[in-house]
A = this chain, B = another copy of it.
Amino acid sequence: EVRVPNGFSIRRIQKQDYEGVIKTLSILTTVGAVTEKQFGSIVEYWDTQKLPKGDVYKYNPYVIVEDSTGKVAATGNVIIEQKLIHECGLVGHIEDIAVGSEFQGKKLGALLINKLTEVGLESGCYKIILDCDPKNVAFYEKCGFHTAGVEMQIKA
């Protein structure tokens, strides 16, 4: 089980995390204009989407929060895909991992990855995958991941 350092908590994202999550995600990539209302609607949507079996969440958006300040230290999500292959298997996709700049160097990123991996495996996934920049491969290897393939994209 994942151990959180003293003074921090890890839990699903809530509507109150609006500012902290947006700020933290801005470290990863372009967030753009997302209003508090839009954030709230997406958190609600994520909380209502379920897999066909076992009352399992499809989206698993998490935050690590600093208890004393309520600040968001890190955020990430694991999205669970219902497949046919592997006997109607499930695959967890880890997405949108970001650690706040003032919280780096505390191993919170690895903690978050371990938690999301645990959530995915406990939900019944036969594998957990993620796509990353080549410069982050060593970090994910430390978290127990292995290179599996090539990510390819088309932009709109």
Contact = CB atoms under 8 A, between A and B. Distances in A.
Interface of A: 21-22, 25, 28-34, 38-39, 41-42, 45-46, 49, 52, 59, 79, 81-88, 93, 95-96, 117, 121, 125-134, 137, 140-141, 144-156
A3 B128 CA distance: 35
A131 B151 contact: yes
Contacts of A46: 82
B34 A87 contact: yes
A144 B152 CA distance: 10
Nearest to A58: B49
A93 B93 contact: yes
Given A41-B52, A150-B151, 15 more contacts: A29-B85, A30-B86, A31-B84, A32-B85, A32-B87, A81-B93, A93-B93, A125-B156, A126-B155, A130-B151, A133-B149, A134-B150, A137-B152, A141-B152, A144-B154
